[in-house]
Structure 1
Amino acid sequence: YGIPDFKMEKDVIDRRLAVLEEEGIEFRCGVNVGQDIPAKKLQSEFDAVILCGGASVRRKLPIKGADLKGVVQAMDFLAQNNRRVGGITRFENEVLARDKHVIVIGGGDTGSDCIGTSFRQGAKSVVNFEIMPKATTERPEDQPWPFWPMRLRTSSSHKEGAERVFSISTKEFIGDDKGNVTALKTVEVAWEKVPGQRPVLKEIPGSEKEWKCDLVLLALGFTGSEMTIADELGLDMDPRTNIKASVANYKTNVPGVFVAGDQRRGQSLIVWAISEGRQAAYHVDTYLMGESKLPLKGEGDLPRV
């Protein structure tokens, strides 16, 4: 969807789709389950249903000026560019970084993709905001193995010339009389460590600053999947608003309904989507046939990721 071609060219997907179609899989595109057809219809017509809809609910930045033109969700920007690369040239609301001063808010993989795409579209400048402090290149002392180390990670997109600003929080978007974003206001922040508790975010007085910009890309992550199908089928949700299912078999609380990928585990990487899809296939096969000869991670057939 939003992965740029400089990271993964789409002919790889086209090639795989052709193989899957030859194997007998039917693809029905442009179908919004829960809107175009009821989810319960799938449940009645098929012996098993696997939900792999991803984590699509985007995190917003509820501050003054967030509705200005030029304040855009990262996935709208990235997905549109993929369509443009694929040959689609007309859009109802075109978003281009060409000749603009771009600020990307969010320091993750999606933010990195926005940086690289902005440069390729011809942005005048690209600045990347990250609310967290700048990490070290080595494993921090307070994050010993097996904890995940918060190291400084520099992608190929960062190396293309983006200015990275850490420990900064956006407070307000500023626009002109036509409703276009022209600047934003920030404040520097510090993370105060409290023993036994989560770090506390505090703003630094006197650190306010105004940044010129024509385009702001919000790469703030996702808060779970859309609830339409889950509500219609009566699926249980976990505290993180993901559809609840055990990694042991990917079954939901509704018989015959399985879930895998971001819709089960929350926003993650494509390698997890591939891994969980293959594991879910094993358990669906077992559910339908009583056994399965498909490979299963942990049984020596699939490498762990």
Structure 2
Amino acid sequence: MGKPTGFMEYERKTAAAVSPKERIKDFCEFHTPLSQEEQRKQAARCMNCGVPFCQAGMNIMGMTSGCPLHNLVPEWNDLVYTGNLEQAYNRLKKTNNFPEFTSRVCPALCEAACTCGHYGDPVSVKGNEYGIIENAYEEGYADPKPPRVRTGKQVAVIGSGPAGLAAADQLNKRGHKVTVYERDDRVGGLLMYGIPNMKLEKHIIDRKINVMKEEGVEFVTGANVGKDVKAAKIIKDYDAVILACGAKNPRDIKAEGRDAKGIYFAVDFLAATTKSLLDSGLKDNKYISAKGKKVVIIGGGDTGNDCVGTCIRHGAVSVTQLEMMPKAPDERAENNPWPEWPKVCKTDYGQEEAIAMFGRDPRIYQTTVKEFVKDKNGNVTAVKTVKLESQKDEKTGRMMMVEVPGSEGKLDADLVLIAAGFLGTQKYVADAFGVQLNERTNVATEAGKYATNVKKVFTAGDMHRGQSLVVWAIREGREVAREVDENLLGYSGLSVQ
């Protein structure tokens, strides 16, 4: 371990954030990284536990505890403490293809499971991960390293989100020739158009993609496989195909007045803003503007929060976020002990900004929309809401959120954004390749496997497991790469963890 008494000597410290009222003036990342000296102190707090839950990535009570990638957190914390940043990078890269992404957008499952966090504050793992990878780029450790030998095998990856990129990176390192097909105009999938710029600036993605290109991965953008590019030709031309197209079907709100103008899915709203920002700095006006509007966002998760932050940057006059579930407790409940994922209320950056701008938390809990109100021109003008409460279904025994009689309300709205999650694979892709879907409309495979019912065709990421975290997508990309490698060569030298 780094310093045996470090966790007693040093207090937890994380990257400082620019004040809400200042950071909403642009779409840039807004955290000031820790200095290397401060990173050493934070690494010194790591206890090198006998059972490092931070890297366990195991399921406890239906929730993930620790890093799904099994990052060697105590090892590279020790290396940061001793100042050996090159070896820290090497240990980090053994398990994580894209620490430049996860150190920015991961909810830090590792920190939630840190032993120091049992009675105190966890180690600043995410901040040290950020420091390791950014130093690696500065010092040249992260420069391109093309494979020395090629196998002669060719693999097509459909989709360039974190799962597809991880699979491509692993298989290219193995020596296979990999081509990644992306239907959008830029590479990155969810990372590029699903996550706002202030959480992940897009030049960070481009930097890594350029490394992968120099290492031999080929990228084809504007290629909508299943429509513009024939799936049959892809299957014919390649030795293996990996479908990593994400869970792209947004869950809708089936309420009266849904056809009103001014109602959009959150994914379309966020993607349009990012594309316009990258193309013209928002000067082309080819995005869904919230400027001067009263916005209602349906959905209380990360995507809903991203919509809050984006709307405020547009110049919305008010933002309200509707959440079906009750407010989580501010501290761990007794029935949610460490090292389970802490089910506590999190006030994220968008909500912080709403509080600073409008003087209140934008979230209204246990509430949903019952009707969209529109004017004579068909424009949405308000939403009728209803309160919800948890009740046990007598037939199934499951707890359900049901309407509370007489609890109806009304909110003015010029713009409504639906951020209610995603339902699964887009059917045209599945149909084009002939792969079977399961009851959740994800591509079906055997448990723990990635091969589909179609020979040579595999799947990974949200398309396989349903909507999930970037870190899970990377793990699935690594695992499908190993399975493909074994299928092509009869054995694999690729590590998964």
TM-score computed with the length of structure 1 as normaliser: 0.90
CA distance in 2, matches of 1:40, 1:141: 55
Query: Following superposition of structure 1 onto structure 2, how do residues 1-305 of structure 1 map, counting pairs within 5 Å?
Result: 1-88=193-280, 89-90=283-284, 94-141=287-334, 150-161=343-354, 162-193=361-392, 197-246=397-446, 248-297=448-497
CA distance in 2, matches of 1:17, 1:247: 31
Indicate how the Cα distance of structure 1 residues 169 and 33 shifts in structure 2: closer, same or farther if over 3 A, else same.
same
CA distance in 2, matches of 1:62, 1:167: 17
Q: CA deviation at 1:149?
A: 5.4
**Partner secondary structure for residue 16 of structure 1:** helix
CA distance in 2, matches of 1:288, 1:137: 51
**Partner secondary structure for residue 53 of structure 1:** coil
CA distance in 2, matches of 1:65, 1:214: 14
Q: CA deviation at 1:85?
A: 1.5
Q: Point out where structure 1 has 5 or more consecutive residues left out of the alignment.
A: 298-305
Q: Which whole-Å deviations, capped at 9, do the CAs of 1:131-169 have from their partners, x for residues lacking one? A: 111121334455567876543222111111242100112
Q: Which whole-Å deviations, capped at 9, do the CAs of 1:23-52 have from their partners, x for residues lacking one? A: 222211111111112212111110000000
**Partner secondary structure for residue 278 of structure 1:** helix
Count of residue pairs brought into register by the alignment: 296
Of residues 171-180 and 6-15 in structure 1, the stretch that sits farther from structure 2 once superposed is: 171-180
More helix by share: 2
Indicate how the Cα distance of structure 1 residues 194 and 142 shifts in structure 2: closer, same or farther if over 3 A, else same.
farther
CA distance in 2, matches of 1:273, 1:171: 34
CA distance in 2, matches of 1:16, 1:131: 38
Of residues 199-208 and 116-125 in structure 1, the stretch that sits farther from structure 2 once superposed is: 199-208
CA contact (8 A) 2:430 2:436 kept: yes
CA distance in 2, matches of 1:247, 1:205: 43
Amino acid at match of 1:159: E
CA distance in 1, matches of 2:334, 2:387: 25
Over the aligned positions, Cα root-mean-square deviation in angstroms equals 2.0
**Partner secondary structure for residue 183 of structure 1:** strand
Amino acid at match of 1:33: V
CA distance in 1, matches of 2:391, 2:334: 17
CA distance in 1, matches of 2:270, 2:250: 14
Indicate how the Cα distance of structure 1 residues 255 and 91 shifts in structure 2: closer, same or farther if over 3 A, else same.
farther
**Partner secondary structure for residue 128 of structure 1:** strand
Of residues 244-253 and 175-184 in structure 1, the stretch that sits farther from structure 2 once superposed is: 244-253
Q: CA deviation at 1:21?
A: 1.1
Q: Which whole-Å deviations, capped at 9, do the CAs of 1:75-98 have from their partners, x for residues lacking one? A: 110001101220244366x41111
TM-score computed with the length of structure 2 as normaliser: 0.57
Q: Which whole-Å deviations, capped at 9, do the CAs of 1:169-195 have from their partners, x for residues lacking one? A: 211111112221111101111112469
